[in-house]
Amino acid sequence: MDFRVLPFGVSGIDSRLGAGGLRAGALHEAAGLTPSLVDDAAATLFLAGIAAREAKATAGPVLWASCRTDLYAPGLAQAGLSADNVIYAQPQDDAALLAVVEDAARDGTPSAIIAEASKVSMVATRRLQLVAAEADMPILLLRRRKSRDQDPLSDPSAAWTRWRIGAAPSEQLSVAGVGRSRWTVELARQRGGETFSLIVEGSDETGRLAVPAELGRGAAETAGTVRHAAA
């Protein structure tokens, strides 16, 4: 193996990824499992956790590029990505956003880049994959829905991995309160590997996922492959 790997630290995920984790110098995509805002937030925090771990490992900032203004900084901090470690860019449209991402990756200042886009062409994803590989930097693309019926991952892409993330029921607590969030994590596509789906506890303040303790590693896995065929 002659490329760098970003492990999740969860064997149920890392053991099913061809490299034993995410390939660092690559494009990775995530979208909400459903059109709900909760699933959109889960996908956002999933990528924030990955970027947070990379920022800690390389001691560099994270570039977050988005045409929207709906980021909630305290929520990102709970997933391990504090405001002090984030550089925000707000281009006027997706075309300008992709140009910002390419320039930042070639510059080499960020440790990781998160970009939010609704429509990205196959050619654009090829460019992002190439620039990520050249910079040995993860580019994490959050695919936002343009409509409730549109699946962002139905479009072709050169991304190394493509994920769907959804909210799952939290742990039942013995006392009234709010438990750690849980997500359904579906790997819809990976180069040279199989798809899978499992339930994990969402990113903590260090950006790390976990398998729910009372379920155990085997029981946390959902049966079969992912439900969406188009990826």
Q: What is the pLDDT of residues 156-177, one digit of tens each?
A: 999 999 999 999 988 766 565 5
The whole-number pLDDT of residue 69 equals: 83
Helix (H, G, I), strand (E, B) or coil at 53: helix
Mean pLDDT across the stretch 35-57? Answer: 94
How confident is residue 144, by pLDDT bands cut at 50, 70 and 90? confident
pLDDT > 70? residue 231: no
| Predicted structure pTM score | 0.89
**Over the stretch 184-206, which tens digit does the pLDDT of each residue have?**
999 999 998 999 999 999 999 89
pLDDT of residue 194: 92
Looking at residue 228, what is its pLDDT? Answer: 47
**What's the average model confidence in pLDDT over 39-55?**
95
- In degrees and rounded to multiples of 5, residue 37 shows phi and psi of -65, -30
Task: Report the share of the chain in percent with pLDDT over 90.
Answer: 67
Buried b (16+ CB within 10 A) or exposed e, 2-28: eebebebebebbbebbebbbbbbbbbb
* pLDDT at residue 110 tops 80: yes
How many residues can be counted in the chain? 231
For the chain, what are the domain ranges?
A: 5-220
Does domain 5-220 fall under CATH 3.40.50.300? My reply is yes
Say what the pLDDT of residue 126 is: 96
Q: Is 50 exceeded by the pLDDT of residue 229?
A: no
pLDDT attached to residue 187:
97
Question: Token pair for residue 211?
Answer: 């398998």
Residue 71: predicted pLDDT: 85
pLDDT at 226 over 70: no
Count of CB atoms situated within 10 Å of the CB of 174:
6
